[in-house]
């Protein structure tokens, strides 16, 4: 089974990428939808207990934020795949501004997440890692190259 962890600031395309690539194959776990960590944990536990493929669609900006998802998935014998969304702040701000009022986040949230964003590493427990970028409204996925 597969657990997917998205990593990127708000407005970097994570939820749109989910809809395009994983909507028919994976369950989406998102704090934007579930609203509380308790609900998120309960849904994650159900996925792990039933071998349901899932995507963690949160910013997951720091290693500390990712460790619980990765650890739980590994303990349940899931393969863990990370997608790091490369983005420019100005592009994220623009996309965020095009969202409906209910979906929009304050600009300060984007700046704050970008400031604390840590690149993922294989040492965190990822079996595979990819870069995702948006060009002309299309997603491009590239194999991960470890930063030196």
Residue 148 has a pLDDT of: 44
Q: Which of 84, 57, 51 is CA-nearest to residue 69?
A: 57
* Domain 2-143: CATH class, spelled out: alpha beta
**Token reading at 90:** 């100005």
Sequence spans of domains, the chain:
2-143
Residue 147 has a pLDDT of: 58
State whether residue 121 is helix, strand or coil.
Answer: coil
> What confidence tier does 119 reach under pLDDT thresholds 50, 70, 90?
very high
Mean predicted lDDT score pLDDT of the chain: 95
61-95 pLDDT, tens digit each:
999 999 999 999 999 999 999 999 999 999 999 99
What percentage of the chain carries pLDDT values higher than 90?
93
Rounded CA gap, 146 and 148, in Å?
6
User: Can you tell me the mean pLDDT for 29-33?
Assistant: 94
User: Which of the pair, 115 or 148, is modelled with greater confidence?
Assistant: 115
Rounded CA gap, 97 and 51, in Å?
37
Residue 145 has a pLDDT of: 87
**Token reading at 115:** 């400031």
């Amino acid at each position: 089974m597969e657990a997917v962890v998205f990593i990127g600031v708000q407005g970097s395309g994570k939820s749109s990428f989910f809809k395009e690539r994983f909507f028919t194959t994976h369950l989406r776990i998102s704090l934007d939808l579930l609203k509380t960590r308790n609900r998120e944990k309960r849904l994650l536990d159900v996925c792990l207990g039933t071998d349901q493929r899932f995507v963690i669609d949160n910013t997951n900006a720091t290693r500390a934020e990712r460790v619980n998802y990765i650890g739980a998935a590994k303990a349940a014998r899931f393969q863990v795949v990370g997608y790091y969304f490369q983005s420019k702040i100005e592009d994220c701000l623009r996309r965020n501004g095009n969202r409906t009022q209910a979906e929009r986040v304050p600009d300060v949230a984007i700046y704050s997440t970008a400031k604390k964003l840590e690149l993922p590493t294989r040492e965190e427990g990822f079996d595979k890692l990819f870069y995702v970028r948006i060009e002309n409204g299309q997603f491009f996925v590239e194999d991960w190259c470890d930063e030196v």
